[in-house]
Every structure is written in C-alpha cells, then in structure tokens.
Amino acid sequence: MPEQYDLIIIGGGPAGLTAGIYASRRNLKTLILTKDIGGQASGASWVENYPGFDKVNGYELMQKFQKQAEKFACQFKYEEINKIEKTNNHFQVKTAHGNEYQSLAIILAFGKTPSNLDVPGEKEFTGKGVAYCATCDGPLFKNKIVAVVGGGNSALESADYLSKIAQKVFLIHRREEFRGEAILIERIKKNPNIDLKLNKTVAEIKGDKFVKSVVLEDVNTKAKEELKLDGIFIEIGYMVDASAIKDLVKINDKNEIIIDESCQTSLAGVLAAGDVTNIKFKQIVISAAEGAKAALTAYKYIQDIKGTKEAIFDWGKR
Amino acid sequence: MPEIKLTSANFEEEALKSTTPVLVDFWAEWCGPCKAMGPIMEQLAQEMEGKAVKIAKCNVDENQDLAQKYEIMSIPAFKIFKNGQVIEEWVGAQTLDGLKSKLEKII
C-alpha cells in the first residue's frame, strides 16, 4: 500500500515550500516531493528584493523556508515524479524510481527548468564546457574565453559577471536589441571585455574531450563563423517541463498550468502555484504568496472531502 | 557516518587508495545548486551506512589542484572512483534516489 498523505506538493522552491508551511500549520499530513531545495531561487547569489531581508543568498533564504516547513512537521522526499493519476477520491503519484504515494489533494509547484539550445554538441559537452549557471561554473573559467547565449536579463547578468573572471566574453544574441534592464544593457555595451555577436544563432558546439569552438550563423546573411573558446553559458530563459502533468490539467501554449485566482487548476483537488503557472510575474515573493494561496485552497478542499464542518483560515473562521 | 571531506592532503588515501568505491561530490560555496545538494548528500551518507561504498565531498575552491586534475568545468559534479579510476560521472543536481540507484548498481 502506498504511503498516504492529505496533501502532496510537487516541487521545493518558494511556492512549494511556502505551501508546505501553510498546509502543515493546518495540520494536514503533508509531503513535499522535490528534486532539490529552492529550485531557481537557490541559484541566485544575492536576493535583494525579498521583504524583510536586506540582502540574502538565494540558497540560504530557501533553507530558511525549508526549516520553517519542517518545524511544522512537513515531510520531504527527494524524488522526481513520473506520473500523477486520479483514482476515486485519491491521487496517486508515481516517481521516477518506482515509488508510489497517495494523497487527497495535490499542489503542482515544480517551477521551470533552463531551456536548451537544441544544437549538435550541446548535450555531448554539457559539463565539459557547456554550462547553464554562470554563478556556479563561472569561477571555473578564470582567464579563459567564454560565450554567453541569450538576450534577456539573465544572459546580461551572466555576461557582466563573467567579464570580471574570464579573459574575454562573447555575448551571442539572435536579435539586434536586448530585452533587459536599461542600466544593465548600458553596462554591457560599455564593457571592453564583452564582444557582442548580434543577429547570430549558435549552429553547432564543437570540441574533442572539451568544448573548443562554436559555429555561429548570421540570421540575415546566413554567413557562418567559428569562435574559439573554452566555455559556453546558455541563458536563453526557462521553460515548463509539463511531461508528467499534461494529461492531468489544462496548460497554455507555453506549457504553463492554467489556474484561477484560488490556484485551482482544471481538475478539482489539483492546485498549482508559482512559476509553473500562467501567473504573470516570476518572483520569489509572488511564488511564496501563490504557494500560501494554493495550500489554503487545498485545505478547504480536504476539509470538504473529510466532512469537517468548520474550516479555519488564516484570516479567521468562515 | 557523515560524508568524508576530501582535500588535496587526503584525496589519495581516502579516494584513490580506497578499497571500496567512493562517490565524490565536487562543489563550491558560491554555487546554489551545489549547496542544495548538501542535505541530500547527508541523507545519502546515512542511508549508505554499513554498505561497501564511501560518500565524500570535495570543495573545488579550496582544492583547485583537484578541480583541475579531474577537469571540473560544471558543478555540482559527481564522480565514482574505484581502484583509483573514475568509473562513472555526471554533472548537475541529482536526486537522492537517483544517486542511490546508481550506487546500488556498483556495490
């Protein structure tokens, strides 16, 4: 018989961890199934806009969320999910390693994962020069030649950061203009250590044991050029991997889970919160709040199933 | 059994000359996903207690010679050493079950 819970939360980032705090404080037997603690937020060197903290390391902030959830008896298992199925009044969660768990309600809060370029050589050289986290791997490319691919804030920030460590940084972007904060764009354009490669896409990543070069293609002229380098940081944004839930709930064209103002998805008993949803802004504080909303909605749903008459919410009785 | 802390000073003794396979997690303070692996590695070490495998961590910032020798270019990086040789390696954060099933195959 699979382990039984009131609520299973998929994902351990700001939304999932906050949902865990709220649900456990409502005495729901709660399990968080997650690959890691903090998700994207853990990768932030510094968070300077989370209220109450002047400046805090992303992972440290997320650890505080986790400790708080554990304090209220929220349980954690570090597993990846494969499939969620509805059976009568239960949801059955199957993990990649064949474990099964059951619950009355589910909160989907597994966020986004970095997008791939999908070009020859990318997979082959991942960890051998192809990287997805400048703050993690940047220091390993001291005095080397690197490239950053992308045109948004995360690409600009990565290029700025790497320009202080690497010998030279190429910034490869498929358009003429960057999407990003004006201050950051100015800083990048003035930086003598950053060489802009605009209107270019990456056609191929080449190397032997490690990355040695990338082949660029001009989007207009289709002309190709080869850049010799040691590392390439791919910062082209994030996507939702909806493979485990696409048959369970409705998603939009970006694979984001469609929710209403109470975090309810298209299937009763399944809530969703944070970056994995169609909520517009992707911020730690917003994901945390969405996680709280999802937990309170789940609480109400579970109370109704169990037939408990008096539902108590954080804003009082109703 | 807590994870073994590997340094340039003890790497040969603890990892290369080990009679049992050693899983090494190469990490650094500046790397969020590496730190997120912290509790997972701790739990892995507990669950592997008594089995013929060692669980170890190596800080690449404090041991740059080892980072260079083992050509670490992305962290967290995981390598399994057996008889002084790397027999398996991956990069990027791993799940507890993922690591466990990989270890169970070799012990």
**pLDDT at residue B11 greater than cutoff 80:** yes
The answer to whether residue A75 neighbours chain B at the CB level (below 8 Å) is: no
Q: What is the mean pLDDT of residues A54-65?
A: 91
Predicted local distance difference test score (pLDDT) of residue B7:
96
Asked whether the predicted pLDDT for residue A234 surpasses 60, the reply is: yes
pLDDT per residue over A192-229, tens digit each?
999 999 999 999 999 999 999 999 999 999 999 999 99
Residue to test with chain A: of B40, B41, B95, most A Cβ within 10 A: B95
| Comparison of pLDDT for A59 and A61, the residue scoring more | A61
Q: In angstroms, how far is CA A159 from the centroid of its own chain?
A: 20
Query: What pLDDT score was predicted for residue A318?
Result: 43
Which value, to the nearest 10 degrees, does the dihedral of the CA atoms of residues A77, A126, B64, B21 take?
A: 60
CB contact burial A178-200 (16+ within 10 A = b; e otherwise): bebeeebbebbeebeebbbbebb
Contact B91 A126 (CB under 8 A): yes
Contact call for B31 and A99, based on CB within 8 A: no
The whole-number pLDDT of residue A129 equals 96
- The beta-carbon neighbor of A97 closest among B37, B93, B97 is B97
pLDDT exceeds 60 at position A239: yes
Is residue A316's pLDDT more than 60? Answer: no
Q: Tell me the pLDDT of chain A averaged across its residues.
A: 93
Which H helix or E strand runs over A312?
strand A312-313
Query: Active site includes A74?
Result: no
Instruction: Look at residue A314 and tell me whether its pLDDT is greater than 70.
Output: no
Angle ∠(A138,A44,A282) on CA atoms, nearest 5: 130
Predicted local confidence at residue A191, as pLDDT:
97
User: Which residue on chain B is closest to A62 by alpha carbon?
Assistant: B36
> What is the predicted pLDDT for the residue at A241?
93
- pTM reported for the whole predicted model: 0.77
What is the per-residue pLDDT for A310? 55
Q: How far is B59 from chain A (nearest CA, A)?
A: 12
Nearest CA in chain B to A39: B33
**What is the amino acid identity at position A311?**
A
Beta strand ranges found along B1-107 (DSSP E): 4-6, 22-27, 54-59, 77-82, 85-91
Interface A–B counts its CB contacts (< 8 A) at 100
Q: Is A173 left (phi over 0), alpha (psi -120 to 50) or beta?
A: beta
**Model confidence at B1: pLDDT above 70:** no
Q: How many CA atoms lie within 13 A of B75 on its CB side?
A: 32
Integer-rounded Cα Rg, in Å, for chain B is: 12
Q: What is the pLDDT averaged over residues A7-30?
A: 97
Question: Any idea what DSSP says for residue A251?
Answer: B
Distance of CA A83 to the CA centre of its chain: 19
Quote the CA–CA distance of A109 and A14 in Å, as a whole number: 9
Angstroms from B32 CA to nearest CA on chain A: 4
Pairing of strands B77-82, B85-91: antiparallel
CB contact under 8 A, B28 and A231: no
The predicted-structure confidence for A87-102, as pLDDT tens digits, reads as follows 988 999 999 888 999 9
Answer yes or no: B34 catalytic: yes
Say if A231 is an interface residue toward chain B (CB within 8 Å).
yes
Confidence of residue A114 (pLDDT cuts 50, 70, 90): confident
Average confidence (pLDDT) over A306-315: 62
- CA-based nearest residue to A111, from A300, A256, A261, A220: A256
- Interval B68-85: pLDDT, tens: 999 999 999 999 999 999
- Which pLDDT band holds residue B106 (cuts at 50, 70, 90)? confident
- Integer CA distances (angstroms), A255 to A239, A241, A247, A282, in order: 8, 7, 12, 15
Report, as an integer, the average pLDDT of B77-102.
90
Provide ipTM, 2 decimals. Answer: 0.81
Question: CB distance B92–A96 less than 8 Å?
Answer: no
Q: What is the pLDDT of residue B95?
A: 82
Contact B72/A43, CB-based, under 8 Å? no
For residue A317, the model assigns a pLDDT of 46
Closest-CA residue of chain A to B27: A136
